[in-house]
Amino acid sequence: MDPTRKPDPVYDIVILGASGFTGKYVVREALKFFQTPSSPLKTLALAGRNPTRLTQSLQWASHPNPPPSSVAILTADTSDADSLRRLCTQTKLILNCVGPFRIHGEPVVAACADSGCDYLDISGEPEFMERMEAKYHEKAEETGSLIVSACGFDSMPAELGLLFNSKQWVTPSVPNQIEAYLSLESNKKIAGNFGTYESAVLGVANAKKLQELRRSRPRKSRPSIPGPPAKGPTLENQKKIGLWALKLPSADAVVVRRTLTTLTEKPHGLPGLNESPDQIQKREAFWSTIKPAHFGVKITSKSLFGIFRYVTLGVSLGLLSKFSFGRWLLLKFPSVFSLGWFQKKGPSEEEVESATFKMWFIGRGYSEESLVSEGKTKPDMEIITRISGPEIGYITTPITLVQCGLIVLGQRESLVKGGVYTPGIVFGSTDIQQRLEENGISFEVISKNKIQE
pLDDT digits (tens, 9 = 90+) for 229-284: 888 899 999 999 999 999 988 899 999 999 999 999 999 999 999 999 999 999 99
In this prediction, residues 345-354 reach a mean pLDDT of 87
Mean pLDDT score across all residues of the chain: 93
User: Is the distance from CB of 119 to CB of 144 less than 8 angstroms?
Assistant: no
pLDDT of residue 337: 87
Identify the band that residue 346 occupies on the pLDDT scale cut at 50, 70 and 90. Answer: confident
pLDDT of residue 453: 63
Identify the band that residue 2 occupies on the pLDDT scale cut at 50, 70 and 90. Answer: very low
Residue 322 has pLDDT above 90, yes or no: no
Distance CA 47, CA 77 (A): 8
pLDDT of residue 348: 86
SS3 147: strand
Give how far the C-alpha of residue 183 lies from the chain's centroid of Cα atoms, to the nearest Å.
Answer: 17
| Integer CA distances (angstroms), 96 to 123, 421, 424, in order | 9, 15, 18
Distance CA 14, CA 321 (A): 34
pLDDT of residue 240: 93
Distance CA 97, CA 123 (A): 8
Identify the band that residue 20 occupies on the pLDDT scale cut at 50, 70 and 90. Answer: very high
Nearest alpha carbon to residue 21 among 400, 352, 327: 352
Residue 416 has pLDDT above 70, yes or no: yes
SS3 per residue for 156-197: HHHHHHHHHHHHCCCCCCEEEEEEEEEEEEECCCCCECHHHH
Distance CA 153, CA 190 (A): 17
| Integer CA distances (angstroms), 442 to 155, 253, 291, 312, 355, in order | 16, 21, 22, 32, 15
**Cα dihedral 392/398/402/403 (nearest 10):** -20
In this prediction, residues 374-397 reach a mean pLDDT of 94
pLDDT of residue 248: 83
Residues 131-176: pLDDT tens digits? 999 999 999 999 999 999 999 999 999 999 999 999 999 999 999 9
Q: Is 353 exposed, middle or buried (0-12, 13-18, 19+ CB in 10 A)?
A: middle
Q: Is the peptide bond before 64 cis (omega within 30 degrees of 0)?
A: yes
Residue 4 has pLDDT above 70, yes or no: no
Which run of H or E residues covers position 55? Answer: helix 51-62
Q: Which CATH number fits domain 11-151+401-421: 3.40.50.720, 3.40.50.1980, 3.40.50.10540, 3.20.20.150?
A: 3.40.50.720
Helix-strand-coil split of the chain, %, nearest 5: 45, 20, 35
**Confidence (pTM):** 0.96
Distance CA 326, CA 332 (A): 10
Q: Is 380 exposed, middle or buried (0-12, 13-18, 19+ CB in 10 A)?
A: middle
In this structure, the chain runs to a length of 453
Residue 182 has pLDDT above 70, yes or no: yes
Identify the band that residue 6 occupies on the pLDDT scale cut at 50, 70 and 90. Answer: low
Residues 33-57: pLDDT tens digits? 999 999 999 999 999 999 999 999 9
Distance CA 359, CA 357 (A): 7
Domain ranges for the chain, please list them: 11-151+401-421, 156-391+441-450
**Residue 46, beta-bridge partner list:** 15, 73
The phi, psi pair for 394, rounded to 5°, reads -115, -15
Distance CA 274, CA 412 (A): 9
In this prediction, residues 360-375 reach a mean pLDDT of 92
Lowest-confidence region among 76-80, 312-316, 361-365, 440-444 = 312-316
Note the helical H segments in 206-320.
Answer: 207-216, 251-265, 277-288, 304-320
Residue partners of 434: CB distance under 8 A and separation at least 6: none
Distance CA 389, CA 185 (A): 10
Identify the band that residue 342 occupies on the pLDDT scale cut at 50, 70 and 90. Answer: confident
Instruction: Write the DSSP string, 368-431.
Output: STHHHHTT--S--EEEEEEEEEE-IIIIIHHHHHHHHHHHHHHSGGGS-SSEEE-HHHHHTTTT
pLDDT of residue 379: 94
Residue 92 has pLDDT above 60, yes or no: yes
Residue 8 has pLDDT above 90, yes or no: no
Identify the band that residue 3 occupies on the pLDDT scale cut at 50, 70 and 90. Answer: very low
Residue partners of 267: CB distance under 8 A and separation at least 6: 287, 288
